[in-house]
Amino acid sequence: RLNYECDRMLDAITDGKLTPAQAKAWLTSGVPSELDRIERQSRVSRMDPVGSQEEDRRLDWATARAWRQLAVSGLHPDLSERARHEVLKKAGPTPIPA
């Protein structure tokens, strides 16, 4: 969903249908609802787990972190090397696809 919304906004900005300020306003208003949705899904998955809880928590954390970053920094964040390291450290190991 995050990728889809970002692509949609970037296309709208490129096509002149949306200004960067409008995109940031949408992110600021849309992020809380997305975080609420993630929390609701997390509660449901805890009641009826499908995959590993550790993986679910890691993916939920990564999605929530990405939405927060978009809300704070906009579409083109400039992360320092330290910030990148912290995010990767907290995200945990990257699973190897089967």
CA 40, CA 32: separation in Å to the nearest integer?
Answer: 12
Q: What is the pLDDT of residues 39-95, one digit of tens each?
A: 887 777 666 656 667 777 777 788 888 888 778 777 777 778 887 788 777 766 655
The pLDDT tens digits for 3-28 are 777 788 888 888 999 888 888 887 77
- Asked if pLDDT for residue 38 goes beyond 70, the answer is yes
Domain definitions of the chain by residue range:
2-91
CA distances from 60 to 7, 10, 63 (A): 20, 24, 5
Q: Give whole-number Cα distances, 77 to 17, 47, 74, in Å.
A: 22, 35, 6
Look up the pTM and report it: 0.37
Question: Which of 35, 19, 18 is CA-nearest to residue 70?
Answer: 35
pLDDT of residue 46: 67
Compute, in degrees rounded to 10, the torsion defined by CA atoms 24, 30, 12, 7.
110
Q: What are phi and psi of 75, to 5 degrees?
A: -75, -25
The conformation of residue 98, written as its DSSP 8-state character, comes to -
How many C-beta atoms surround the C-beta of residue 87 within 10 A? 15
